[in-house]
Structure 1
Amino acid sequence: MWGYTAVSSIFYFLDQLGYEFFEHVAFPNVFEIEATSLSQKFIVFAHACYLSGYFVYKNKNINITEYRVNIKEGAYLKLSIGATILALLALKTPFSQLSSYLNIFSTICAVKYFGYSLSHRKLIIKGFLYFTTVLLIGFLSGMKESTLFPLIYLGVILYDKYGVKRTSLVFFPLILAYFYFIPTLNGTIREAAWYNNKNAYETLSSLDNSLLLNKEKIRSVNWAFLSTRLSEISMLNRYLESVPARRPYYNLEIYKNGVLSLIPRIIWPSKLSPDITAQQRAIENGALIVNSPYDTTSAKPQTVADAYMSYGYLTVFITFLCYGFLVHTLSHLLEKKLGYDLGLSVLFYSLFSILSRGGCFENLFNTTFYGFVLIFITIHIFKKLNYIEKNPIYLN
């Protein structure tokens, strides 16, 4: 999360200096550069607090896990397909939130199966076709994360399997090509699928060759993506300008919203959507301008913004100290129970992916709490499926 936050903001900084890529096209925006400098101070401070919380205590090395894992790598295909089916079924129930966890779990299992198939010639075609299908579904969803995440996870597996030099020759050109084309393609997909309600075939049909050959359009869209949508520092600037100068600190209000988001809608049917309460903060502080009631633009504060708006440096310190401690505790818990491969590389990122990128308090509280509950439900299901068994020599 912090590497992404630190690196991605450079494009916004260059944009405010008057550059488009490496060409100087305008005068520097001195006011916004000063605002960005202040925002970076809060980001660095939050990072320091996060690391302090993460390393507040040192765990003992884990030599023996609580459960022995019996999942063969080939079984990840079954797990991926099963999770996809369950995710679709969950959408029809009061527990539709489960679908997001299951979709991430399904994607990770698909990538692991593809990585496994590369070492088994008979399975390569099947593994490649399934992985390609996962990427296509993610592409049609209009969410860039649905395609970028599988590629990054595949890169991690390939680096482990083939080493840095061999993997880099393929992986880096692939990622560069991805970031060159995906902003333009993703915008077209969203326009067709999200706003014009086109089906998958119609959405794909809207992608013609001229779109990919229009270098000027790709250039302008890419710079807009890199300088604004890739980083949320411009929004953080607006929050710092607004609070407390124009709007008093929220004190415990945002934390209260986060706690209230834990109440299931089946118990509280009239509960406001967490996205609505979070987006309201963006609107009232000028980080999001809504031009009409039909405007579909969406934006929510990041974790550092919500922490700052509560009560400045004090709540940033407390929030990120707890954030680092929480990440450390949850990752250690899963590794202690299920080991590194299943516990960390699969389940931690399936249940707590939000902790790697942050989010508004409503989504952060809700997703993390129910992810913690799902640890024990998942362990119970795995035991029933004989994928894990209690380790008789495990010592607490």
Structure 2
Amino acid sequence: MEKKIAFERILALYIPWALACLFRSDALLSYFIAWSGSFFIFYITLCGWVKPLPNDRPIGEQLMRPIFLVQIIFAGYTCCTSIFYLFNVLGYDNFSKSNTLVLTDGNMLALTAQCQRYYCLGHAAFVTGILLFMKYPVKHKFKVENDNLANLLFYAAIIALPLSIVFMKVPGLSQFSNQFSSLSFVAGTLALAFAIPQKKMLNTAISLGLYFSNFYSALTSGFKEPIIISVLILGIFLYPTYKKVVLAIFVPVLLALFFLLPTYAKIFRQNAWGDQVSADDASQLALDAALNPGDDVDDTNWGFLVFRLSEIDMFTTFISSTPEKIDYYHYDLLEQSVVAIIPRIFWPEKPSTEDLVMERVYDAGVVYRGANVSAKPAFIVDAYLSFGQFGIWIFLFVYGAAAQLISLKAEKLFGGYLLGTALIFSGLFQIFWRGLSLEFIINSVFWSYISMLIIAWVLRYKNIIRPI
């Protein structure tokens, strides 16, 4: 029987934010209360104190559910990575005081602490949304025979990949390409995790081919996140079967990636994006530079930790301009999000979503017009720009609730956690992990939900999933 959540335990999620606000006159103390507050929220939610964790499966076999992976990646990236930026504001460079004679910019420190308080509030609201709608066990409407699961995952990986290529070539439908490319990767990784212990050599070989193909695409994308996600997902799927091996291999590999990828990505972009060499050659040059570091590696890694790992630098610029110079956007961003939902195939003259998002970036002075950069605000920033502090609470609450409700819907439609959350939710709704600008999130979630319903209908029509 699902236990009801205690109201006073929900309120406990907001204690760090309230304390940080109480001590706002001391910016440094306020920052550390808010920053450590996210770790407090992680602890009381992941140990089941606020609300008991789902007990329908062992913890290691439900890590893809929102309370675990989505919270750890989204809140961890959003709320916990700003510590390096704070050290930079305090005058540190590679954890060493760069100049003891230079005083700390008090205004910059206050803005940093204010942003961190907003992060802490957003984390609490996000988890509130998850926990209030986290109701397990899920009452399934359909079932899939366990004997067919491994083959189903295998075929899903093979079919989704060419579909992603087809969608990429059809004008106006490229957004579906990303959905099915991600679905193919998750399905292939799951199929690999099934095939290895079952010793299915053909399935293992093909699944390995798909996995390394996706990993190669991640290496030559110029971005760090796809590489980390590729390793992380494989480790999570293998963990229930090979706990000790995963902990011994994947944890050190992930830590190594955090140190190597800043240099790798910088060198790759300098060469590949500058049209100097091919992607293969750029990848080899970048790999050599990462494994054989030069004198500038410390600067590269520190710059990544300060300005790329966290987006707080951009957030401070936005709160400096809104609402003092630029009024809150109120419902404007939501209206633009509705426009973004319309596929370009039906409206060829539709305004560019990228351009709409960049307008508020230019207005706030984050980057100058004409600069060849993309600096889209994070979801929590758009929440603030819409309605201020209240916007952060309501938007992040809805964000957490939406992730949880969609995960539950997927488990109902696809017969349980494995196909529902691990495959469909994680494959189609990966945007919840990072949290991009409002227009991109609403557009992606809307059409991913439609894709989920269509896939469920096809599987029912083919009698692959059957009514209980």
Q: Which of 41, 48, 52 is the aligned partner of 2:124?
A: 48
* Residue number in structure 1 paired with 2:424: 347
Which secondary structure state, in structure 2, belongs to the residue aligned with residue 249 of structure 1? coil
Q: Which of 82, 96, 110 is the aligned partner of 2:159?
A: 82
* Residue number in structure 1 paired with 2:92: 19
* Residue number in structure 2 paired with 1:38: 114
Which secondary structure state, in structure 2, belongs to the residue aligned with residue 345 of structure 1? helix
- Residue 178 of structure 2 corresponds to residue 100 of structure 1: yes
- 2:192–2:207 CA contact under 8 A, matched in 1: yes
Q: Percent identity?
A: 27
* Residue number in structure 2 paired with 1:91: 168
For each residue in 1:345-383, what CA deviation from the matched residue of structure 2 results, as whole angstroms up to 9, or x when unmatched?
111122211122211111011011111111111112333
Separation of aligned partners in 2, 1:60 and 1:173 = 33
Separation of aligned partners in 2, 1:102 and 1:173 = 30
Which secondary structure state, in structure 2, belongs to the residue aligned with residue 142 of structure 1? coil
- 2:157–2:185 CA contact under 8 A, matched in 1: yes
* Residue number in structure 2 paired with 1:146: 226
In structure 2, runs of 5+ residues without a counterpart are: 1-73
Which secondary structure state, in structure 2, belongs to the residue aligned with residue 101 of structure 1? helix
- 1:258–1:362 CA contact under 8 A, matched in 2: yes
* Residue number in structure 2 paired with 1:7: 80
- Which residue identity is paired with 2:402? L
Q: Which of 262, 272, 279 is the aligned partner of 1:200?
A: 279
Which secondary structure state, in structure 2, belongs to the residue aligned with residue 288 of structure 1? coil
Change (3 A) 1:78 1:58: closer
Separation of aligned partners in 1, 2:406 and 2:152 = 25
For each residue in 1:174-205, what CA deviation from the matched residue of structure 2 results, as whole angstroms up to 9, or x when unmatched?
11221222111122223333341754334345
Separation of aligned partners in 1, 2:191 and 2:276 = 33
* 1:233-312 → structure 2 map (5 Å cutoff): 233-290=312-369, 293=370, 295-312=371-388
Change (3 A) 1:352 1:32: same
- 2:82–2:312 CA contact under 8 A, matched in 1: yes
* Residue number in structure 1 paired with 2:440: 363
- 1:51–1:321 CA contact under 8 A, matched in 2: yes
* Residue number in structure 1 paired with 2:449: 372
- Residue 387 of structure 2 corresponds to residue 314 of structure 1: no
Change (3 A) 1:51 1:151: same
Separation of aligned partners in 2, 1:22 and 1:37 = 19
* Residue number in structure 1 paired with 2:144: 68
Which secondary structure state, in structure 1, belongs to the residue aligned with residue 144 of structure 2? strand
Q: How far off its partner does 1:75 sit?
A: 4.5
* Residue number in structure 2 paired with 1:326: 402
Change (3 A) 1:121 1:267: closer
Q: How far off its partner does 1:5 sit?
A: 1.8
Change (3 A) 1:4 1:213: same
Which secondary structure state, in structure 2, belongs to the residue aligned with residue 131 of structure 1? helix
For each residue in 1:67-114, what CA deviation from the matched residue of structure 2 results, as whole angstroms up to 9, or x when unmatched?
325643245343223222111111111311111101111111221132
Q: Which of 287, 292, 302 is the aligned partner of 1:223?
A: 302
* Residue number in structure 1 paired with 2:51: none
- Which residue identity is paired with 2:218? G
Separation of aligned partners in 2, 1:77 and 1:29 = 56
Q: How far off its partner does 1:154 sit?
A: 1.1
* Residue number in structure 1 paired with 2:11: none
Q: How far off its partner does 1:152 sit?
A: 0.7
- 1:184–1:218 CA contact under 8 A, matched in 2: yes
Change (3 A) 1:31 1:378: same
Separation of aligned partners in 1, 2:458 and 2:209 = 28
- Which residue identity is paired with 1:366? N
Which secondary structure state, in structure 1, belongs to the residue aligned with residue 132 of structure 2? coil
Separation of aligned partners in 2, 1:211 and 1:59 = 45
- 2:185–2:210 CA contact under 8 A, matched in 1: no
* Residue number in structure 2 paired with 1:111: 189
- Residue 293 of structure 2 corresponds to residue 214 of structure 1: yes
Separation of aligned partners in 2, 1:198 and 1:77 = 36
Separation of aligned partners in 2, 1:324 and 1:343 = 18
- 1:278–1:360 CA contact under 8 A, matched in 2: yes
In structure 1, runs of 5+ residues without a counterpart are: none
Query: Please, which moves more after superposition, 349-358 or 113-122?
Result: 113-122
Query: Root-mean-square deviation (CA), in Å?
Result: 2.3
- Which residue identity is paired with 1:352? F
* Residue number in structure 1 paired with 2:29: none
Separation of aligned partners in 2, 1:223 and 1:152 = 23
Query: Please, which moves more after superposition, 2-11 or 77-86?
Result: 77-86
Equivalent pairs, count:
387
- Which residue identity is paired with 2:130? Y
Change (3 A) 1:385 1:178: farther
Which secondary structure state, in structure 1, belongs to the residue aligned with residue 135 of structure 2? coil
- 1:74–1:116 CA contact under 8 A, matched in 2: no
Q: How far off its partner does 1:8 sit?
A: 1.1
Query: Please, which moves more after superposition, 232-241 or 136-145?
Result: 136-145
Separation of aligned partners in 2, 1:76 and 1:389 = 13
Change (3 A) 1:207 1:240: closer
- Which residue identity is paired with 2:448? G
For each residue in 1:242-276, what CA deviation from the matched residue of structure 2 results, as whole angstroms up to 9, or x when unmatched?
00111111121111111111122122221111111
Separation of aligned partners in 1, 2:436 and 2:403 = 14
Structure with larger RCO (C-alpha < 8 A, sep 6+):
1
